[in-house]
Amino acid sequence: MKLVEITKTGFDVELDIRYASNNNFTSAPIYSRPRCFLNEEAAENLQIAIILAKQMGYRFKLFDGFRPTEAVQALWDHTPNPDYLAPPTSGSPHARGAAIDLTLLDGNGDEVEMGTGFDAMTVKSHHGALDISGLAQQNRATLLGIMTSAGWDFYRNEWWHYQLFKPRRYPTLSDAAANTKMMVSE
């Protein structure tokens, strides 16, 4: 399976690859390099979503895409919570290059209000959460509408997570098998 690198210039997105920094729920880098990849179908769907968002005055900030199996294991080892992380044995959609974590940016390049931050493991992160502001509800609905219109499925517990329908048709990949060099320093 071929993975496509998602770059700022190639896709007109902002990248904030959280698992390559301390700014994630583990408070430590999981990836050694901040890179974002998707499989070819997912990259095509992202392009459609980018066009739809632009027509509405938005851009995307991407937090994560392809997540090598080693990273899936490391996250699970840190916080084995199946409500927010795919157990390594089930094969995360991220490890298939079939999932993306993202948010909307407004016309000034600022993140829109979503009610919680990325990777907040709380019921406030769920689609349909009632204890967030009306503006956050509206922004989540906008993101949901853009992404589903572009062919993405959503995960109800995470407003930021979108994946291809039937992602299991793609194999899970390690960093070495994908040749992404996300887990090793060069």
Give the structural domain span for 96. Answer: 3-178
Give burial (CB, 10 Å; 0-12/13-18/19+) of 108. exposed
| 125 belongs to a structural domain | yes
| 183 belongs to a structural domain | no
| 185 belongs to a structural domain | no
DSSP structural state of residue 118: T
Question: Is residue 179 scored above 80 in pLDDT?
Answer: yes
| Residue of 147, 146, 113 lying closest to 132 (CA atoms) | 113
**pLDDT for 186:** 52
d(CA 80, CA 60): 29
| 186 belongs to a structural domain | no
Number of domains comprising the chain: 1
DSSP structural state of residue 24: S
The pLDDT of 33-56, averaged and rounded, is 98
pLDDT digits (tens, 9 = 90+) for 127-158: 999 999 999 999 999 999 999 999 999 999 99
The pLDDT of 30-59, averaged and rounded, is 98
| 173 belongs to a structural domain | yes
d(CA 39, CA 178): 10
| 57 belongs to a structural domain | yes
CATH number for the domain spanning 106: value is 3.30.1380.10
The pLDDT of 104-129, averaged and rounded, is 97
Q: Which of 41, 70, 113, 158 is catalytic?
A: 158
The pLDDT of 111-126, averaged and rounded, is 98
| 13 belongs to a structural domain | yes
Tell me, yes or no, if 14 is annotated catalytic.
no
**In sequence order, which residues have a C-beta less than 8 Å from that of residue 93 and are 6 or more positions away?**
86, 99, 163, 164, 167
| 8 belongs to a structural domain | yes
